[in-house]
């Protein structure tokens, strides 16, 4: 599939920008916060909750970080004003992590404190291997300051993730909060799984591990084998939409969260499965990206993971495989 994916990336990059925009419209809410608000109002009727991501990541100077600081302030205002069931996703490199770590910590702490005033959770997205440990360190440091409205993403394709789950749980206990995903950043075979089945097997093992450690599990996957495994794992532990979280050492009921877990899916992807889960009573969260940098974001994602192009192609020519 990798060869075909790279072929499709080459074709996609040759397409006119307006065509790419037409495709991206399914997966990106728009260029500004107003378009995102409109999208969330529409989807709220389906009983979904949200996490909002302002597109953009690694910056070249600290002045660029101010854009993200200001934009996330506007996002917080929009969530509060419209009473949305939503939290935030941020990329630490967009706040200056690779330029000035101290300034980045200060920028992120400021956002966390503003969000905490409104009981809003902030998720630190996980980027490539250069910042895996620094991102985890931020979460632990913020919890030490009493800011428990923050958690991280971990990528099941990385070999280190099993140890990272244990290390974070050992430090944060039941307050640990993860979004577990395959990971879009392709890493070499010295540090990551590279085959589909090995990634799925690792993902399922990490779900079990997170649940058994009493941490909160945001399962970010559209793959039915992973969702099916999660449903069985929840049932085996007496967890589910009709139960309070029964695990020893867990943090108990959390504002804006499910009973120890939730399912998370990208905007525009497998909406039929999301709605099926929601109908069964499971908390489902839609990841909603927006911003002026939608094109750069889309091209970067294609470069990092060419197989994404295959899913886009299928959604165009076989839309029944990916109902919104």
- The span from the CA of 252 to the CA of 148, in Å, is 13
pLDDT for 133-143, tens place per residue?
A: 999 999 999 99
**Quick one: pLDDT at residue 87?**
96
Question: How many Cβ atoms are within 10 Å of 266's Cβ, its own excluded?
Answer: 16
CA-CA distances (angstroms) from residue 209 to 158, 179, 205, 252? 15, 13, 6, 18
State how far Cα 236 lies from the chain centre. 26
pLDDT above 60: residue 207:
yes
Q: Using the 8-state DSSP alphabet, how is residue 58 labeled? A: -
Residue found under tokens 């392709």? 186
What would the CATH number be for the domain defined by 30-290? 3.20.20.220
| Farthest CA pair distance, the chain | 55
pLDDT above 80: residue 8:
no
pLDDT for 215-255, tens place per residue?
A: 999 999 989 999 999 999 999 999 999 899 999 888 777 88
- The span from the CA of 199 to the CA of 193, in Å, is 6
Domain residue ranges of the chain, discontinuous segments joined by +: 1-28+298-324, 30-290
pTM above 0.75, yes or no: yes
């Amino acid at each position: 599939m990798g060869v075909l994916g790279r072929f499709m990336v080459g074709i996609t990059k040759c397409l006119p920008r307006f065509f790419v925009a037409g495709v991206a419209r399914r997966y990106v809410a728009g260029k500004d916060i107003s378009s995102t608000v409109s999208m969330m109002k529409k989807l709220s009727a389906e009983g979904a909750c949200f996490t909002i991501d302002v597109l953009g990541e690694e910056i070249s100077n600290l002045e660029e970080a101010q854009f993200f600081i200001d934009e996330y302030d506007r996002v917080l205002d929009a969530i509060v004003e419209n009473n949305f069931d939503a939290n935030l996703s941020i990329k630490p490199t967009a706040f200056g992590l690779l330029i000035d770590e101290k300034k980045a910590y200060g920028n992120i702490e400021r956002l966390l404190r503003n969000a905490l005033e409104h009981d809003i959770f902030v998720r630190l997205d996980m980027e490539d291997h250069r910042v895996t440990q620094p991102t985890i360190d931020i979460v632990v440091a913020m919890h030490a300051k009493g800011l428990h409205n923050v958690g991280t993403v971990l990528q099941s394709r990385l070999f280190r993730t099993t140890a990272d789950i244990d290390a974070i749980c050992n430090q944060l206990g039941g307050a640990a909060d993860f979004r577990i995903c395959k990971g879009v950043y392709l890493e070499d075979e010295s540090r990551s799984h590279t085959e589909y089945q090995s990634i799925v097997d690792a993902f399922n093992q990490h779900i079990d591990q997170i649940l058994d450690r009493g941490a909160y599990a945001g399962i970010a996957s559209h793959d039915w084998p992973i969702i099916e495994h999660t449903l069985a794992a929840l049932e085996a532990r007496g967890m589910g939409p009709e139960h309070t979280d029964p695990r020893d050492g867990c943090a108990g009921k959390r504002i804006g969260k499910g009973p120890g877990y939730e399912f998370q899916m990208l905007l525009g992807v497998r909406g039929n499965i999301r709605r099926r889960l929601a109908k069964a009573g499971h908390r489902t969260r839609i990841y909603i990206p927006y911003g002026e940098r939608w094109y750069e974001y889309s091209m970067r994602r294609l470069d990092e993971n060419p197989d994404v192009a295959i899913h886009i192609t299928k959604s165009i020519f076989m839309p029944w495989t990916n109902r919104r």
